[in-house]
Amino acid sequence: MFEDLLNCEFAYGAKGPGKYDCFTLAKEVLRRAGIGIKDWPSIVDVAIRHDAIQFGKSDYTRLDQPEAFSIVTFKLVPGRVTHMGVVLPECKTFIHIMQKRRVAIERLDYWRHKIDGFYRFNPGQ
């Protein structure tokens, strides 16, 4: 379902095919799973990106545990949420992309010390 995304490159604001940032990749993965989410801007500045992600969370319900196709957010910079990915169906891995890397599927437990939380989109909330 996502194998074609694994060779895609990172670019801020890119909406595919072939290039994505972490949000636009998450949006594409969720679209393929039949879940539409709102756009939000791709922001390079870490402080502004943190604020945008925090504001965007108002459309999401925080989950106690990862669920299939939930958003996982990360604090890669101390005190700031700056990254996201999508939890895959077995709820042990997620798909994401980072600057200077290609799309990857990685284990959640490896990233547990950086995880901010898990969120399910609630349209019209």
pLDDT at res. 94? 98
pTM: 0.89
pLDDT at res. 1? 83
pLDDT digits (tens, 9 = 90+) for 18-35: 999 999 999 999 999 999
Tokens describing residue 109:
């437990």
Q: Residue 98 is which amino acid?
A: M
pLDDT at res. 55? 66
Name the nearest CA neighbour of 82 among 96, 65, 94: 96
pLDDT digits (tens, 9 = 90+) for 61-115: 999 999 999 999 999 988 888 899 999 999 999 999 999 999 999 999 999 999 9
pLDDT at res. 124? 57
Instruction: Tell whether the model's pLDDT for residue 41 goes beyond 70.
Output: no
What CA–CA distance (Å, rounded) separates 32 from 17?
13
- 115 phi and psi angles, rounded to 5 deg: -70, 130
3-state SS assignment for residue 118:
strand
Cis peptide before 89 (omega within 30 of 0): no
- 106 phi and psi angles, rounded to 5 deg: -135, 165
What CA–CA distance (Å, rounded) separates 5 from 38?
21
pLDDT at res. 37? 85
pLDDT at res. 81? 87
Tokens describing residue 3:
């194998």
> Is residue 39 very low, low, confident or very high in pLDDT (cuts 50, 70, 90)?
confident
Instruction: Tell whether the model's pLDDT for residue 40 goes beyond 90.
Output: no
